Amino acid sequence: MCLGIPGKIVSIVKAPLRMAKVSFGGILKEVCLAYCPEAELGDYVVVHAGFAISTLDEKEARKTLDYFDQIGDQQPKVSS
């Protein structure tokens, strides 16, 4: 129950609770957006027990990926 998987919001219904259809690699699930009021169509959200618990931040994700590149730059010998 605790495994949170990122999925993409493909549609949003606003009543009574704000609900979305979220695609997990093509498999669609109904997800409650009550805790992610900022989430919009096309955003990726982390889903737990039928609730989106965060909207993934692309800028922060890119920073993390850049960090991996930087490691490679600092330590050229390791990739050999």
Residues lying near another protein in the complex (CB under 8 A) are found at 1-4, 6, 8, 17, 29-30, 32, 34-37, 44, 46, 48-51, 53-54, 56-58, 60-65, 67-69, 71-72, 74-75, 77-79
Shortest distance (Å) from residue 27 CB to another protein: 12
C-beta atoms surrounding 34 within 10 Å: 10
How far apart CA 35 and CA 33 sit, in angstroms, is 5
Shortest distance (Å) from residue 14 CB to another protein: 16
Measured from the CB atom, is 15 or 60 closer to another protein? 60
Q: Following CA atoms 7, 8, 14, 16 in sequence, which dihedral angle do they give, to the nearest 10 degrees?
A: -10
CA 26, 32, 36, 42 torsion-angle sign: positive
Measured from the CB atom, is 11 or 49 closer to another protein? 49
